[in-house]
Chains A and B, each alone.
Chain A
């Protein structure tokens, strides 16, 4: 689409382009210079502050790796628990019986309308008050609880959308050969929609990984972001350096997940055998944000 917005460039447009490029470069350079100046004034560019990350592996083995392990553990646990739960909720929301469909729809819409942090705080207090989970384990439990409650309802919507995206003829043909309702779902609709949903599920994993950072900032869960704080205390207030390293790690993990999702989406869209129904990356963004836009019945 983008190339349709402007013509192939002639000599004047080319000259103008160079002018714009130069102007933009100047602005960009000014911003970078300002950032450099601000960092330099406060002595944040001194080698001593950055050294732990570039020489030796101590910073990685003592702080970053344990934090990253916790991040990945929380994310993996949440995904593994939320996925079956979401599948059940998503299928239940497609039920023919109103007494199943309506309550499930209300639960799903409710948990999508509530911020994940609120669910995590609720989880932390819940485990403290009603269970004997040790106070060391509580943050992990709370983070996973919050993430599961929220993401199960988002995944439920992904599953529902994935099944609805299949052509009507699939279930009609299945019913015509005499399959029962649960056979239609189990043998015909689910297997086809799983592949259609894969890209959306992978990009939801990105959301989960990002949300684990909330646990570090608010619930004292010792994950990757929390390790940045510990590091900057230990290595002499190198806040900027620690945060940069942590942000780069997050970007690397999530960017590879996002790229994998897009690759998967492209591959599934090109595949000739399928029914052509694919839930893409943008669909997840829409479903994840769309509280209350689904119909409640």
Chain B
């Protein structure tokens, strides 16, 4: 019953899913934090840019962004992110697309975290003469991040599931493997169960562990 699995690299496909998730998570955490800093900062142009970025990117389907990366950036404009191998450059373009998309949600999660920090914290920080970067970097963001663990966990789980969109441009991750398997084998239910189990293994523990961490680090008020 499980014989046909020898022909397919199930673990390899899920490893690609994990790699896509982790790389895009790091990228979007950095870019999303910068966006959040821009959106709460004193420079009107940066605020406007951050708001526009979030509102535009959030409302475009991820599929459009990732397909655009492959068909528009690579095939039309010849930007292949430093690799001539099709698989490698598609992988990198997917990470780029996922980062661009997810950072909008990271930005909103961090902003939600900033909103949980009591006004008095920032006021006290200003009163002792800290500048905006110091208020944000030393006082507000450290507390905001601790409150944002919950929302950020949800973004990470959504990101894990969103990596399947990379299948649209042929990155050999779990959903593409599933498509290939259901087309070639007559074992639909078994194949689906395996893939579903794999995703449960990735998403459910993430939610439970980080949910616990989130409670642990939350600032008690």
Measuring CB to CB, which residues of chain A are less than 8 angstroms from any residue of chain B?
Answer: 1-2, 4-7, 9, 13, 17, 20-21, 24-25, 28, 38-39, 41-42, 44, 109-110, 113-118, 121-122, 125-126, 129, 206, 209-214, 216-218, 225, 228-229, 232, 237, 239-240, 243, 246-247, 250-251, 253-255, 258, 282, 285-286, 288-293
Residue of B nearest to A238 (CB): B76
B60–A239 contact, CB under 8 A? no
A38-B79, A117-B175, A118-B195 as given contacts; A289 in contact with B154, CB under 8 Å: yes
B72 close to chain A: CB less than 8 A: yes
Measuring CB to CB, which residues of chain B are less than 8 angstroms from any residue of chain A?
Answer: 39-47, 49, 55-56, 58-64, 67-68, 71-72, 75-79, 105, 108-109, 112, 114-115, 117, 119, 122-123, 126, 132, 135-136, 140, 150-151, 153-158, 161-165, 167-168, 174-175, 178-179, 182-183, 186, 188, 192, 195-196, 199-200, 203-208, 211
B162: chain A residues within 8 A (beta carbon): 115
B72: chain A residues within 8 A (beta carbon): 239-240, 243
Residue of A nearest to B119 (CB): A4
Residue of B nearest to A257 (CB): B59
A121–B175 contact, CB under 8 A? yes
A228: chain B residues within 8 A (beta carbon): 64
B61–A286 contact, CB under 8 A? no
B161–A116 contact, CB under 8 A? yes
Closest 3 CB pairs of A and B: A289-B154, A292-B207, A254-B59
B154: chain A residues within 8 A (beta carbon): 285-286, 288-290, 293
Q: List 30 A-B contacts (CB under 8 A).
A: A1-B40, A1-B119, A2-B41, A2-B47, A4-B122, A5-B41, A28-B49, A42-B76, A113-B199, A113-B200, A114-B196, A115-B199, A117-B167, A117-B175, A118-B192, A118-B199, A125-B192, A210-B59, A212-B61, A213-B63, A239-B75, A247-B64, A247-B68, A250-B59, A254-B60, A258-B55, A286-B151, A289-B154, A290-B154, A291-B204
